[in-house]
Each structure stands twice: as C-alpha cells, then as structure tokens.
C-alpha cells in the first residue's frame, strides 16, 4: 500500500513533469511576448472593471433606496463608460488570446515537424506513422491547457484574489473570513481531481494514437486488407478501440462534472451563508443594502480563484499527459542539424570505401568488420541470399544509419565530414519499392532536382521508356497519379523512379532490384538507358535475378554480412561457391526472385 502510494506520488504529484512541460513551452511563449504583454495589461483593466461594476451596483442600489431618480440618472454616463470598457476589454482579450495561443501552437507544430524530419531513421522506424501523425493532430493541442487561458489565470487569479480580499475586508472583515472557510476543501478536491484527470488523459491520448495508427495502416494497406479479407477484423478492432475511447471520455466527463458540481454546491452554500449573515448585519445597521450587494457580487472572486487554481492544476495535468508524448519525441536527439535540401557540392567521387565497418540494428548484427573498396566509374553488383545485408550497405552509404565502428569514406573523406545535403545529393537511389507522392507525374519527376529544365525531364522520361505512356494519359505530365502512385502499375512506377534517378544526375547510382517489375522487352530498353546512365558513374546494383548483372565489372557475393566471393561473372561461375549455387537457382526459378529460396551457407 505504502509502495503504491509512493509510486502514485512519484508519478503524479511530482512537479518534475510540470517543470519539463514549462521549460519546453517557455521559448515559444517568449516569442509571442507582445500579445502576452497586452493580455496582462488587459488583465489590469479587467480587475478594475470587476471591482468598479460591483461598487457601481452597490452605490446604485443605495441611491435607489435613499435618493431618487435624479441621483440614479447621474450614474448612467459612468455605467455606460464601464460597459464600453468591458466590451473593449473582452474583444481585445479574445483576439490577443487567440493570437498568442495559436501562434505558440503553430510554432510548436513547425518545431516538432522540423525535429521529426531530422531524427535518425532508427528512431523513426520505432513509431507507427499514424501515431506520429496523432502527435500533430491531437497531442500538440493538449498544450492549450498550459499556454492559453490557464496560463493567464495563473497571473490573474492571485491578483484578483488579493485585490478583492482587501476590498471586501474593508467592507466587512467577518463576512470576508467566513467566505474563506471552504478554501481548503476546494483546494484538496481540485488536486485529487486533477491527478485523476491526468491519469485518464494519458490513456485517452495513447488510445487516440493507436486509433490513428490503425486508420493509417488500413488506408495504406487497403489492397492487402481486401485480398486477405481483413475488412471485418479491422472494423471490429476500430469499433472496439472507439468504444474504449468513449468509455474513457465518459469517465473524463464524469470526473469533470463531479468536480464542477461540487464547486457549484460549495459556491452556493458560501453565498447563502454570506447572504444570511450579511442580512443580519444589514438589520443591525452594520452594512447598507448596497454594500451587501457589492459584497455578494464580489464574494465569488474570493472563492473561484481557489477553485480556479485547482482547475488550473487539473488543466495542467491534462496538458502534461498530452505533452509528455510529444516531449518523448522531442527529447530524442536528431542526427543532423539542418534540414537536408538539394546541393550540388560533390561533383566527382573517386572511390567508395567501407573500412572495418561493424553495424547492427539493435541486437541484430548485420555487418561485422566489413571491408570494401569500390573504384570510381565501375559497375558493382551485390548478390547474396535474402537478409545478407545488401540493402543495409545502401542505407549506411546514404547516412540513414551510422555504423557502430569503422569508417565509410567517399573519395577518401569520411561520411561524417559531409552534410546530409551534400551526401544524399550525390547519390541517386532507385529502391526496391517505389514510393511516389500524390500529385502529378511532373511533380514526382522534378523533385529529384529543382533546377532541371522541361527538356531534360522529357529526355529522362524517354530514356526510362515512360515518355510515350505519359503522353498517352489525358493530361500527360500533369496527370494526377494518386497517393503513392496508386493509379499506376508497378512497372510504370518503377520507370518513373528510374527517370527520377536519371534527372538527379548524381555521381553515385544505387539500384536495388531497379528493373524487377518490368516485362522482358521494357527491361531490355530500360537497361540500355541505365547502362548509358552508368557511364562515368559509380554504380552499385543489388540483383536477385543474376541475368541482369552479368556485365558487372565486379560481382560481390555477400552472406551473413560478409563478402564471401568477388570477381566477374565468368570467374565466379567457374568457382565452386555460393555464386554458382545462386546462379543455378536463379535459372531454375521461373519466377523473379529465387534467392529467397537459397538457404544461408
């Protein structure tokens, strides 16, 4: 029991998380300091108006009792001024608060996106894309509880409390002290409810992340869902998670309504007690009716700052629950400083060198003291069973992952000395799975190099054997291709990816099964285009169909993260090794990818 309590205190009552949240939001708030300063000035006006209105009604009542019409009319201009000031204050406050909070949120979202774009590939791969999106669409809005009216209340409530207390104590100290008796009950219940809300808020935000993950996976994997008839299963999962969410939201609403109702009950009791005792004072002649009215008008300002503080606490706790998910990501260190963009810095690459490179994904050791020297301008083919580490060489070369030890060098210079922009602009990569952006074919081709001309783009499309197909579409290069090029066939997508690589015109070319989705005839033509493209460039090709790499200058046979054979096709085929085995399997297989069938030697 004691341990449980300690854990609860550690988990929820510690101020560490609040401090963590505030130190995160501080710089963003500072950026909007003008709007916040104006809000503080408006607070001064608001406090003055609160007292002035209550005093006004009290004096008006006394005049009504003791004076006459004339005296009442003399109050009208002052009342009009108070109303005008109140409207001005309210309009300006709404505008400034919206400006400040939305400005802070916009900056935070930009910061989060900037951060996520620079995170190491290994960190990003641990998140589901829907969950990441949920941080932007849902969690970041949790910050409202810290930067909006809650933050302003943090300044407003103590000031209004002190001002009203002094003012009311002047009217009647006894009544004033009676109103304070309930303060501790309100404060304690606020803390407890705040903690319960935070615990629940945490569950809600995590569940919303899961629901977004499920939706995003469903829409991305629509074809798999249809072919494996997973519609019912996914629907049931979605319904179940939504039901859980509803239950949590209801619990949340229940907590809040209990808390608000409790507050209202305590408020009403305090009001009634004040009214009864105040009436006694009026009958004794210690108070005028107007002074009692002023008192009753203001007494809730003695009460609600305490409920307000408890509410603030609850609001902060809810925000902390949402923001701690965002902070967990923001506290991961990016491995690059600037966002990469296209750069033309590297012109030629003399050599590519892997020197004693050891690399593992977590506990999965892929390369162990790996050495490789690739001379410039040659075509190198990587072959080997599935999982041998071929694609890993590509990801390391592009700097997506860093080796745990050893060095990778381009033209004798360590990769660490290149910026991500320089490095990745020097490499054109055609991956196994082509990813195309929703938009037009032109958009997808031009993203390879922003400065390319229309003529160069069309030439690249001709070389990749895709130009005629593009022209056959109703809007040609301006045809929309849908998310991830859903309106195109696998072969068409692959040819666009090849055209994109041609446009990039980079000194290093990485082809990962780049022609696997093409039919024999198209492959023949595309291969010609690729051979043209390879001239003068260093090309590394990963191939499962060995027929595609027989002309390679050097073939490297990889197995279990090591190079087990190297040579030309003719040399390797005459050796009794893995290459001959793979080659045999390749020709025996009628379908595209026989190497998956070969057991690791």
Ligand X SMILES: Nc1ncnc2c1ncn2[C@@H]1O[C@H](COP(=O)(O)OP(=O)(O)OP(=O)(O)O)[C@@H](O)[C@H]1O
Of 311 and 384, nearer to ligand X (C-beta) is 384
CB of 539 to ligand X, least distance (A): 17
Helix 16-31 crosses helix 289-330 at what angle (to 10 degrees)?
100
Residues of span 407-426 touching ligand X by CB under 6 A? none
Look at residues 488, 485, 499 and name the one whose alpha carbon lies nearest to residue 438: 485
CA distance 481 to 308: 54
Residues of span 322-361 touching ligand X by CB under 6 A? 361
For position 390 contacting ligand X by CB under 6 A, the verdict is: yes
CB of 384 to ligand X, least distance (A): 6
CB of 387 to ligand X, least distance (A): 4
Residues of span 102-141 touching ligand X by CB under 6 A? 125
CB of 561 to ligand X, least distance (A): 8
Q: Which of 50, 200, 392, 516 binds ligand X (CB under 6 A)?
A: 392
Of 284 and 363, nearer to ligand X (C-beta) is 363
For position 545 contacting ligand X by CB under 6 A, the verdict is: no
Of 186 and 595, nearer to ligand X (C-beta) is 595
CB of 546 to ligand X, least distance (A): 13
Q: In this structure, are strands 379-383 and 364-375 parallel, antiparallel, or unpaired? A: unpaired
CB of 400 to ligand X, least distance (A): 9
The region that residue 562 occupies, defined by phi over 0 for left and psi between -120 and 50 for alpha, beta otherwise, is: beta
Q: Of all residues in the chain, what percent are helix, strand and coil, respectively (each to 5)?
A: 65, 10, 20
CB of 587 to ligand X, least distance (A): 18
Of 317 and 494, nearer to ligand X (C-beta) is 494
Q: In this structure, are strands 562-567 and 554-559 parallel, antiparallel, or unpaired? A: antiparallel
The region that residue 334 occupies, defined by phi over 0 for left and psi between -120 and 50 for alpha, beta otherwise, is: beta
Of 67 and 387, nearer to ligand X (C-beta) is 387
Of 144 and 512, nearer to ligand X (C-beta) is 512
Look at residues 273, 257, 303 and name the one whose alpha carbon lies nearest to residue 160: 303
Partner residues linked to 538 by β-bridges: 508
Of 96 and 383, nearer to ligand X (C-beta) is 383
For position 389 contacting ligand X by CB under 6 A, the verdict is: yes
Q: How many residues bind ligand X (CB under 6 A)?
A: 12
CA distance 326 to 324: 5
Sequence length of the chain is 601
For position 388 contacting ligand X by CB under 6 A, the verdict is: yes
Of 313 and 401, nearer to ligand X (C-beta) is 401
Strand, coil or helix: 261 = helix
**Phi (first) and psi of residue 132, to 5 degrees:** -60, -40
CA distance 315 to 152: 13
Of 215 and 597, nearer to ligand X (C-beta) is 597
First-to-last C-alpha distance (Å) of the chain? 57
CA distance 282 to 169: 16
Of 169 and 598, nearer to ligand X (C-beta) is 598
Of 42 and 381, nearer to ligand X (C-beta) is 381
For position 404 contacting ligand X by CB under 6 A, the verdict is: no
CB of 401 to ligand X, least distance (A): 8
Of 513 and 523, nearer to ligand X (C-beta) is 513
Q: In this structure, are strands 351-361 and 427-430 parallel, antiparallel, or unpaired? A: unpaired
CB of 406 to ligand X, least distance (A): 16
What 3 state SS string does 118-138 have? HCCHHHHCCCCHHHHHHHHHC
CB of 504 to ligand X, least distance (A): 22
Residues of span 358-387 touching ligand X by CB under 6 A? 361, 364, 366, 384, 386-387
Residues of span 33-62 touching ligand X by CB under 6 A? none
Edge-first strand listing for the sheet containing 538-542? 427-430, 508-512, 538-542, 379-383, 554-559, 562-567
CB of 105 to ligand X, least distance (A): 33
Residues 6+ apart with CB under 8 A from 210: 131, 241
CB of 594 to ligand X, least distance (A): 11
Alpha-carbon dihedral angle through residues 223, 596, 546, 444, given to the nearest 10 degrees: 30
Q: Residue 567, Cβ neighbours under 10 Å: how many? A: 16
Identify whether the C-beta of residue 382 lies closer than 8 Å to the C-beta of residue 566.
no
Q: Which of 172, 391, 398, 559 binds ligand X (CB under 6 A)?
A: 391
Q: Which residues bind ligand X (CB under 6 A)?
A: 125, 361, 364, 366, 384, 386-392
């Amino acid at each position: 029991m004691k341990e449980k309590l300690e854990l609860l205190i550690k988990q929820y009552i510690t101020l560490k998380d609040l401090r963590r949240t505030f130190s995160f939001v501080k710089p963003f708030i500072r950026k909007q300091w003008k709007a916040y300063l104006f809000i503080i000035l408006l607070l001064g006006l608001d406090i003055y108006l609160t007292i002035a209105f209550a005093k006004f009604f009290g004096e008006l009542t006394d005049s009504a009792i003791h004076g006459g019409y004339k005296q009442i009319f003399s109050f009208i201009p002052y009342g009009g001024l108070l109303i005008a000031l109140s409207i001005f204050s309210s309009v300006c406050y709404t505008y400034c608060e919206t400006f400040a909070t939305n400005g802070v949120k916009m900056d935070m979202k930009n910061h989060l996106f900037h951060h996520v774009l620079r995170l190491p590939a290994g960190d990003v791969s641990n998140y589901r894309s829907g969950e990441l999106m949920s941080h932007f669409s849902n969690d970041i809005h949790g910050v409202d509880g810290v930067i909006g009216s809650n933050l302003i209340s943090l300044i407003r409530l103590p000031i209004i409390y002190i001002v009203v207390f002094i003012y009311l104590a002047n009217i009647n100290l006894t009544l004033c002290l009676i109103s304070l008796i309930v303060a501790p009950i309100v404060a304690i219940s606020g803390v407890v409810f705040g903690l319960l809300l935070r615990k629940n808020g945490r569950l809600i935000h995590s569940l919303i992340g899961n629901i977004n993950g499920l939706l995003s996976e469903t829409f991305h994997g629509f074809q798999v869902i249809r072919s494996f008839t997973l519609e019912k299963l996914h629907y049931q999962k979605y319904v179940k998670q939504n039901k859980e969410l509803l239950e949590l939201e209801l619990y949340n609403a229940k907590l809040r309504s209990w808390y608000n109702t409790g507050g209202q009950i305590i408020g009403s009791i305090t009001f009634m007690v004040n009214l009864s005792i105040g009436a006694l004072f009026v009958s004794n002649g210690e108070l005028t009716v107007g002074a009692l009215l002023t008192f009753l008008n203001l007494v809730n300002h003695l009460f609600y700052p305490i409920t307000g503080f408890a509410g603030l606490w609850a609001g902060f706790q809810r925000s902390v629950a949402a923001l701690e998910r965002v902070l967990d990501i923001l506290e991961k260190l990016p491995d690059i400083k600037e966002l990469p963009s296209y750069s033309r810095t590297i012109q030629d690459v003399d050599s590519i060198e892997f020197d004693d490179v050891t690399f593992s994904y977590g506990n999965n050791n892929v390369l162990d003291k790996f050495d490789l020297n690739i001379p410039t301008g040659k075509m190198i083919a990587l072959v080997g069973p599935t999982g041998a580490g071929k694609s890993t060489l590509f990801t390391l070369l592009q700097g997506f992952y860093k080796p745990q030890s050893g060095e990778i060098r381009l033209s004798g210079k360590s990769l660490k000395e290149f910026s991500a922009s320089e490095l990745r602009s020097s490499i054109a990569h055609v991956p196994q799975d082509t990813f195309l952006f929703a938009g037009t074919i032109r958009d997808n081709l031009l993203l390879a190099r922003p400065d390319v001309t229309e003529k160069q783009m069309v030439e690249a499309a001709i070389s990749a054997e895709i130009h005629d197909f593009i022209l056959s579409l109703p809007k040609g290069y301006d045809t929309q291709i849908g998310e991830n090029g859903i309106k195109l066939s696998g072969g068409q997508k692959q040819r666009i990816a090849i055209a994109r690589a041609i446009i990039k015109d980079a000194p290093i070319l990485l082809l990962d099964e780049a022609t696997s989705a093409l039919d024999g005839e198209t492959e023949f033509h595309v291969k010609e285009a690729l051979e043209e493209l390879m001239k003068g460039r260093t090309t590394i090709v990963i191939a499962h169909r060995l027929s595609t790499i027989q002309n390679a200058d050097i073939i490297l046979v990889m197995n279990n993260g090591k190079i087990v054979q190297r040579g030309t096709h003719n040399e390797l085929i005459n050796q009794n090794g893995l290459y001959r085995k793979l080659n045999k399997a390749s020709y025996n297989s009628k379908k595209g990818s026989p190497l998956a069938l070969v057991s690791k030697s």
